[in-house]
Structure 1
Amino acid sequence: MSALTIRNVKKSFGNTHILKGINLSIEAGRFLTLVGPSGCGKSTLLNIIAGLESPSSGEILIGDRNVNQLSPKDRDIAMVFQSYALYPNMNVRKNILFGLEIRKVPKAEQAAIVDRIARMLQIENLLDRKPAQLSGGQRQRVAMGRALARDPKLFLFDEPLSNLDAKLRVSMRAEIKQLHQRLKTTIVYVTHDQIEAMTLGDYIAVLNNGEVQQFGTPDAIYNDPANRFVADFIGSPPMNFIPCEVVGSSSQGFGVKMTHEGGDFVLEASGDLKPWLGKHVVLGIRPEQITHVVTSRLDERGVSGHACPVHLCEPTGPDTLVTTSINQTKVLARVRPDTAGTPGQSMDLMFDMNKAVFFDPTTGERLRFQLLKAA
């Protein structure tokens, strides 16, 4: 049974359409991340699920119950906000207990719940402190603890880590993932950070301009993007987009023509591009698919090496990002640090076209084609 079902939900403020027909469904125990740029509608959707806002049309089902007409307190949800929303005059213990006291949970049960939550989140030594005496990460743990004390059907997280510094954000992200793995709770998590979306979610819904651009697993979103927006938004550094012409290949099938100041070469495609022969498309290829040459791989289908000019090298520690230019477009390659070339010179780069994708240059939609059989 689905823990959450969103059916054709729309939301408008006057003539401004914020959500344009959202359809999503997740099973109990799953972790769904809603990701997209600012203003895409993800927080509005979360507020509608929570009951803080009403949809203009459509349905929200939690379990098998339509909750459109229910107030937030009757939806059996718990929400963790970006701002923590802790009561400053109460210590940690009372912040966690507040919701239990409102629902008149027996005192003995309250104490057991606080002890369990405190051990789980490793905040036993903070129970008598007030929020002003806590760090940002500690406050976020308390906010999570208050939500966990409820044991609801659905947890809603609204960009809970955006106020934390980069290092703490990484550690808290791991804590949230481990917590979900232990408790198997159902979570809907809003973020604008695609790294959070990829690392946390069982499923990702990529939103833009009030519409779901793609819904799927992190692997599907990353390796099989539905359109150029998704391909560009997911991935750091983002996918390369190279305008190019489809040509016949020297062996079998088709390829795309690449040009730079050092000359021309053709990258073979893994599929039947005949409908676009002689036409222009956009090649989408991720930086890790353009890397230093590994000689043993050059015999693989779809893999080839070509000398390319080096314009810039950016060491990142485990690898180096090399900037080149192809078809008058900036292209990033990810190479091993000891293989990086020298700016102003050329270096051999290996292109792996097996996971490359193609887009319509006008609409940005993904071009689908039949894969060619191996020779």
Structure 2
Amino acid sequence: MGKLILQDIHKSYGKDEVLHGINIETGENQFLVLIGPSGCGKTTLLNIIAGLEQESGGDILLNDRRLNGLSPKDRDIAMVFQSYALYPSMTVRNNILFALENRKVPKAEREQILMDVARMLQIEHLLDRRPRQLSGGQQQRVAIGRAIARRPTLFLFDEPLSNLDAKLRVEMRSEIKRLHQQLQTSMVYVTHDQIEAMTMGDLIAVMNEGVIQQLGSPESIYNDPANRFVAGFMGSPSMNFLPVVPREEASGLCLRVAGAEGDGNLLPVPPKMQGALRGQLGRRITLGIRPEQITDPGSAREGEALHSIELDVELLEPTGPDTLVFTRLDGHSLVARVHPSTHLQIGSRCTLSFHMERAVFFDPENGSRLA
């Protein structure tokens, strides 16, 4: 078991503050993912938890035990690095046993731990090889096995899959998630890959410029983003953003696309959003809508304030399970997802249904959520 609490963590290098009061509390045995662009502070935060860097302020608690000031070896934490950090002159067996030997674990117990870990990771046949004789995926398994052998309260992973090819990343993603379920202990995982974050995390912290932009479940991060940064960072392809102006029309509250030539298109405002958007009448705001929420009528779901518009197909990208359609609405680029059986041609017209109940709205100046 393991419950991690970070209270008001700050980190400065001279006059440059890189972490601005980080607050996170996990449940027992949760899988926490720290995600954000390069330079956002996620690896710095991981190193502070591990004791590899000193925080400038704040408290770190693991199962109510304060870790501040403790050396890495005294924190009951194991870390798996991006570079694997295996000892090249040692066999797989000795790489896994090394920390146990230093802790004076009895030989019989060491051997039992070794075999348990080897079976769990399916590396029994690799125990007498050296790291240079292993593939990248095999080296990663050994690095994880070395961490498991320590039986820590908390595991830390620093972008452990970034050096693997795409197919192996998917396999190892599942392996780490399965290990989390088997070991029943807490894990903190740093990545810049949103697919890893969404598929692996119980709890996701989206970071930018040393600040947590949103902390929540994968579903809440994706479907209910706190601001425009989170909405744009999570999702592939990214969320569509359109400048719109709320207006009262004879048909009710509508959105006119800003900068549209002539009358342009009107998008309806669902009833549940009208209260919030009436305060924005006549003001340019930002509408956000994900590609899967703009789809062909055959794939559209009822009851989601559907609004259909005929648009020009500029580009098609088949992905297998669906097809991405690149188009424009009143001069603004859009990406839609349609069923692969939808027969479209570049340069043709197609009807796309907008699921307006799933749209979100942001302030164009500070990116804060409006509705």
Deviation at 1:216?
Answer: 0.1
* Residues 292-316 of structure 1: per-residue CA shift (max 9 Å, x gap): 0138856x35112111111111111
Counterpart residue type for residue 325 of structure 2: V
Q: Which structure 2 segments of 5+ residues have no match?
A: none
The 3-state SS of whatever aligns with 1:129 is coil
Q: Tell me if structure 2 keeps the 8 A contact 1:197–1:204.
A: yes
Are 2:52 and 1:52 equivalent residues in the alignment?
yes
* Residues 31-62 of structure 1: per-residue CA shift (max 9 Å, x gap): 00000000000000000000000011111111
Q: Which structure 1 segments of 5+ residues have no match?
A: 369-375
Deviation at 1:261?
Answer: 7.4
Are 2:316 and 1:313 equivalent residues in the alignment?
yes
Q: Which moved more, 1:175-184 or 1:219-228?
A: 175-184
Deviation at 1:158?
Answer: 0.4
- Evaluate the alpha carbon distance shift between residue 15 and residue 179 of structure 1 in structure 2; reply closer, same or farther with a 3 A threshold: same
1:71-90 equivalent positions in 2, closer than 5 A:
71-90=71-90
In structure 2, the residue matched to 1:346 is: 349
- Evaluate the alpha carbon distance shift between residue 93 and residue 367 of structure 1 in structure 2; reply closer, same or farther with a 3 A threshold: same
In structure 1, the residue matched to 2:65 is: 65
1:1-375 equivalent positions in 2, closer than 5 A:
3-248=3-248, 250-252=250-252, 254-258=253-257, 264-270=264-270, 271-272=273-274, 273-294=277-298, 297=301, 300-368=303-371
Q: Tell me if structure 2 keeps the 8 A contact 1:244–1:327.
A: no
Count of aligned residue pairs for this structure pair: 366
Q: Which moved more, 1:205-214 or 1:313-322?
A: 313-322
Q: Tell me if structure 1 keeps the 8 A contact 2:243–2:257.
A: no
User: Within 2, Cα distance between the matches of 1:172 and 1:129?
Assistant: 20
Deviation at 1:339?
Answer: 1.6
The 3-state SS of whatever aligns with 2:26 is strand
- Evaluate the alpha carbon distance shift between residue 301 and residue 76 of structure 1 in structure 2; reply closer, same or farther with a 3 A threshold: closer
User: Within 2, Cα distance between the matches of 1:80 and 1:295?
Assistant: 43
Deviation at 1:344?
Answer: 2.1
Q: Tell me if structure 2 keeps the 8 A contact 1:29–1:187.
A: yes
- Evaluate the alpha carbon distance shift between residue 261 and residue 124 of structure 1 in structure 2; reply closer, same or farther with a 3 A threshold: farther
Deviation at 1:170?
Answer: 0.8
Counterpart residue type for residue 178 of structure 1: R
Counterpart residue type for residue 352 of structure 2: L
Q: Tell me if structure 2 keeps the 8 A contact 1:9–1:22.
A: yes
* Residues 218-258 of structure 1: per-residue CA shift (max 9 Å, x gap): 00000000000000000011100011111225545x22124
TM-score of the two chains, using structure 2 as the length reference:
0.95
Counterpart residue type for residue 167 of structure 2: K
Q: Which moved more, 1:107-116 or 1:174-183?
A: 174-183
User: Within 2, Cα distance between the matches of 1:329 and 1:11?
Assistant: 41
Deviation at 1:268?
Answer: 1.6
User: Within 2, Cα distance between the matches of 1:262 and 1:167?
Assistant: 49
User: Within 2, Cα distance between the matches of 1:296 and 1:323?
Assistant: 18
Counterpart residue type for residue 130 of structure 1: R
Deviation at 1:266?
Answer: 2.0
Counterpart residue type for residue 47 of structure 1: N
TM-score of the two chains, using structure 1 as the length reference:
0.94
Q: Tell me if structure 1 keeps the 8 A contact 2:2–2:186.
A: no
* Residues 119-164 of structure 1: per-residue CA shift (max 9 Å, x gap): 0000000011110100000000000000000111100000000111
User: Within 1, Cα distance between the matches of 2:169 and 2:221?
Assistant: 23
Deviation at 1:328?
Answer: 2.5
- Evaluate the alpha carbon distance shift between residue 262 and residue 120 of structure 1 in structure 2; reply closer, same or farther with a 3 A threshold: farther
* Residues 170-226 of structure 1: per-residue CA shift (max 9 Å, x gap): 110011111111222100000011111111000000000000000000000000000
Q: Tell me if structure 1 keeps the 8 A contact 2:299–2:338.
A: no
User: Within 1, Cα distance between the matches of 2:347 and 2:263?
Assistant: 16
User: Within 1, Cα distance between the matches of 2:286 and 2:352?
Assistant: 20
Q: Tell me if structure 2 keeps the 8 A contact 1:249–1:268.
A: no
* Residues 98-123 of structure 1: per-residue CA shift (max 9 Å, x gap): 01000000000001000100000000
Q: Tell me if structure 1 keeps the 8 A contact 2:299–2:339.
A: no
Deviation at 1:338?
Answer: 2.6
- What RMSD over aligned residues (CA atoms) do the two structures have, in Å? 1.7
Counterpart residue type for residue 156 of structure 2: L
Q: Tell me if structure 2 keeps the 8 A contact 1:243–1:327.
A: no
Deviation at 1:340?
Answer: 4.5
